[in-house]
Amino acid sequence: MAIEQFELYGETAIRVQNEELAFTLVPAWGSNLLSLRLKNKDLELLRFPENQELYKADPILYGLPILFPPNRIADGRFAFNGRDYQFDINDAAEHNHTHGLLFDAPWKILRAEAEGERIVLETIIYSDEHEAILNRFPHSFSVQMSYILERTTLTIKATISSQDAAPFPWGLGYHTTFNYPFDRSGDMAKCRFSLNADKQWVLDERFLPTGELVDIPYLDELREGKSLVEHALDDAFQTAGTGANEAVLTDLNSGIRVVYSADEQFKHWVVYNHDARQGYLCPEPYTWITNAPNLQLPQKLTGFRVLQPGEQVTTTTRIRIEEVI
């Protein structure tokens, strides 16, 4: 097991590794976990930028960006508890805000150390130290990330803590961008994707939910393992009420599968692969659905949640790598 600090594209990076896996995280780039490498097969599982310019041009499509809150907010605006919130419009084409407050902010390293058979790396961000965050979301809070590496499993915990005098809404997600296929061979015919979902959100022309949930036309395939050859996705799904809350990416050519699981707080998944020809797949677990603050639907359905003064909440996701024949 090893922990090392080094320079990556002009920024401080942390590399953590055991005998099976190695990951690299850049605190200054939104605590983005940019690399997850399976060592015995020399496979880079996440989409990794070849230089700083590529990353800066589209940081959401590399590694595992933290979305707080996740996905789009219509016109960047919503109201809660008598207060109006206005986020910047960074999706000009659809006039939405997208991807939240933290993915491009610098984080701090709390600790990186071995604990028996596992290694723990922790990072944190305090809203009070970032004027750009407070201007859009005027609340005092912190988010602490814990990345726990143990054998072939990476556990990711996020703890959101309120230091504010007023309640505030919170939503969390990860725009996880896997190389797909993992060996970048382009042989999509050897790949399968499954997701334990039961309904699909209807989206309008701005990729915002209309509020309607419909049956997934290829539900059985999706649950059992579906080919995504020529199947473009930018779709939102509701987590199934029973069974494991997970997405599974299988690449028979590489001989591995990735099981990406989330706790019960992640009620939705967005799945994105652009036009299905770019060599990546983004299964994105969300605690709330896109534009949740503006949907006139029950909070239990949308995942809209509120953190009270002094409260904190912790979420857990896991990425587990398995060999397949």
Catalytic residue IDs: 175, 284
Contact 171, 286 (CB under 8 A): yes
d(CA 274, CA 61): 11
Q: Residue 240 — φ and ψ, nearest 5°?
A: -65, 150
Provide the token pair at 206. Answer: 């701005």
Radius of gyration of the chain from its Cα atoms, rounded to whole angstroms: 19
Quick one: tokens of 58? 């589209």
Q: Are strands 173-174 and 66-67 parallel, antiparallel or unpaired?
A: antiparallel
Q: How far apart are CA 18 and CA 118, in angstroms?
A: 8
What is the rounded CA–CA span in Å between residue 176 and residue 262? 13
Contact, 208 vs 216, CB < 8 A?
A: no
